[in-house]
Chain A
Amino acid sequence: MIKARNISKSYNGVTALDSISFDINRAELFGFIGPDGAGKTSLFRIITTLLIPDSGDMQVMEYDTVKDYRELRKRIGYMPGRFSLYADLTVEENLNFYATIFGTTVKENYHLIRDIYSHIEPFKKRQAGKLSGGMKQKLALSCALIHAPKLIVLDEPTTGVDAVSRTEFWEMLKKLQKEDITIVVSTPYMDEADRCDRIALLQSGKIMKTDTPGAITKSFDRNLFAVTAKNRFNLIQKLKEYSEIDTVYPFGDSIHITFKSVDRESELVKHLSDSGISDACITEIIPGIEDTFLNLMKPAGL
């Protein structure tokens, strides 16, 4: 569905994308995972023909993103990161407007948006600017789908959205995938990576890795341990002092650590109890996407 080769883009000497290559299959749910400033939005604007790369080639459905932009725009649905529907039009007016632009009607493709749009239909006379965050997101997705695109590109659709609405949103995407729609999505939430078929980890304009979430976590190349103790801040300090430890990252209610060369769990427990932490508990764990990301990334901008 998408074939990208050595795509680069920079703005006034600042590199946003650094020779990126990837392939995305038809009806795949593909995620670009990376923090702000990683290059996600630039990449998405290139896929949707809104930005021309400095170098490299990209083909979407056999069309060239630069030369054949007119053909492509008919076939792509795009949901930008910033809410960009008309705030002073109602829900209904926005949807009709987008349908008309693409030469279709809401009725014709209603089956595609029914599940999503039904949540906001009771508010169809309300101005889009007055909707809550979750409702805006559903309207934006409906508008991106109304011309029955083969590919939808969603730039951080779940940023700033609470955990419950996020789960619902991903369930909607899974359903769309069954309609033979290819979905490209970006997110800064690492825990959402597991919901994609394949992901690319993006950092500072480069793809660090592309694979299924499972294969990516399997690539974690050493043993990972979780340490817990009641006084967490003190525990972090003491762990950082210990010379045999390589990385110390807080993860929810535990601290994830790796050792430099040899795993020294029992020595560590002794070190901690010598330092006044007697309730430390250490267990080996299976790494997640965020562990892998931290392992692969170099601290940004420092």
Chain B
Amino acid sequence: MNENVVEVENLVKKFGSFIANDNLSFEVKRGEIFGFLGANGAGKTTTIRILVGLSPLTSGKVSVAGFDVTKQAEQVKKRIGYMCQKFSLYEDLTAEENIRLYGGIYGLSKREILQRSDSLLNRLKFEQYRKRLIGDLPPGMRQKLAFSVALLHNPEIVFLDEPTGGVDPFTRRQFWEMIYETASKGVTLFVTTHYMDEAEYCDRISIMDEGKIVALDTPSELKKRYKTKTVEDLFVKIARG
């Protein structure tokens, strides 16, 4: 279980003279729920874009699912899933069409797509929404479906960028149970969130500030170290300090 799915060594990313990622080094283990926290503008999105192979790095070494993101970006993309709050599924396509689209993009066969979409919709109890446009579904439901679609091609790691923003408190909790369940099957979850109670659900969290990782450990260990009661207090203490 100690195998690393993400390995980052001395990652630097500059935009002109601005240093967005300042010499980051960290690992994420297989089956781990890793919370990637930081204030707006701390550099989180930059790091995620590098990890998923969408943005070149300035210097350093980054491997995801065993492949180098600079030299083997296509290999990396096949083994990862991604969803974010702002965009996940096409609103003007139905649930079923979205699944078929993503299945096709990831090179699944027609039979595989059919089988997996049946079991996916069944598991979510969404069969009756199969032919509904995504735009007509409530946001919480959309997010749960988007997460399942991100898992369609059996990725080793899934990046969730604020997956629960604006979602009602009930569905937010169902969503986290899906995350736990996914992790228990050995899939790694890399999660960003502004809900600090959700940070407590992670196995380990990192807190980024001005392009640097300033804290990285289990939530309970960090709370002990910084003598705070909650991750929220911890976050405010670190980001304001």
Contacts and interface: CB of A to CB of B under 8 A. Distances in A.
A203 B41 contact: no
**How extensive is the interface on chain B, given as a class?**
35 or more
Nearest to B183: A233
Contact size range, A: 35 or more
Given A189-B195, A252-B230, A134 B169 contact: no
Nearest to A14: B136
A297 B170 contact: yes
B236 interface: yes
Nearest to B33: A233
Interface in A129-147: 132-134
Given A163-B194, A165-B40, A301-B138, A36 B168 contact: yes
Given A167-B236, A189-B195, A252-B200, A159 B166 contact: yes
Contacts of A189: 194-195
Interface string A28-49: 0000001111100000000000
A37 B136 CA distance: 11
Given A236-B180, A252-B200, A301-B138, A188 B166 contact: yes
B67 interface: no
A233 B180 contact: yes
Nearest to B233: A163
Nearest to A299: B170
A253 interface: yes
B40 A133 contact: yes
Contacts of B197: 251-252
B118 interface: no
Contacts of B240: 164
A294 interface: yes
A293 B181 CA distance: 25
Contact of A132 (B40, B140, B162): B40
A294 B177 CA distance: 16
12 contacts: A36-B168, A37-B139, A156-B166, A159-B166, A163-B236, A188-B165, A191-B232, A250-B177, A290-B169, A294-B170, A300-B171, A301-B141
